[in-house]
Amino acid sequence: MKKIIEIVDDIDCGLAYAELSDPKSGGICVFIGAVREFTNNQEVIALEFETYKTMAIKEMDKIAEQALEKWSLNKVLIKHAVGKKEVEEPVVIVGASSPHRSECFEACRFMIDTLKNTVPIWKKEIFKDKSVWVSAHP
């Protein structure tokens, strides 16, 4: 399988290497996005993610296809978690494997940046005294 695209309850970072490994790949690059402790000097308790799953998968697949067309990649991976996530928990992982490192580094940056801008996944920041949807929630 050349691409792995999923919306999941939990991200298993340890699985990424096995999913991206390929005998033709000399480089494997992975980006993991996690819940950070502070946003704008406010302590974050957790984040909550919701999505329109069918559309999110379709958009994530488009991103993977664009990366495969643009760079010489052997495999790509895009996964995003939904539900409530605590500080330090992974919420998104993108990865690529390729014959050389430069392609997989560039592809990872493209995939995470494009995902953040185009995929219908909504994030709520949960603080001690309030909750705020970061992006417009449907």
Backbone angles phi, psi at 126, to 5 degrees: -110, 115
* Amino acid found at 119: V
User: Tens of pLDDT along 74-124?
Assistant: 999 999 999 999 999 999 999 999 999 999 999 999 999 999 999 999 999
Read off the tokens for 3: 């691409």
CATH, range 3-131? 3.90.1170.40
Identify which of 42, 53, 37, 35 has the alpha carbon closest to the alpha carbon of residue 131. 42
Q: Is residue 137 pLDDT above 70, yes or no? A: no
The C-alpha angle with vertex 95 and arms to 46 and 9, in degrees rounded to 5, equals: 35
Burial of 91 (0-12, 13-18, 19+ CB in 10 A): buried
> With the CA atoms of 119, 107, 5 and 82 taken in that order, what torsion angle do they form, in degrees rounded to the nearest 10?
-50
Contact 95, 29 (CB under 8 A): yes
Question: Is-contact 16 25, C-beta < 8 A?
Answer: no
Q: Is the pLDDT of residue 136 over 70?
A: no
6-65 pLDDT, tens digit per residue, is: 999 999 999 999 999 999 999 999 999 999 999 989 999 999 999 999 999 999 999 999
Alpha carbon distance 134, 125 (integer Å)? 7
**pTM, to two decimals:** 0.94
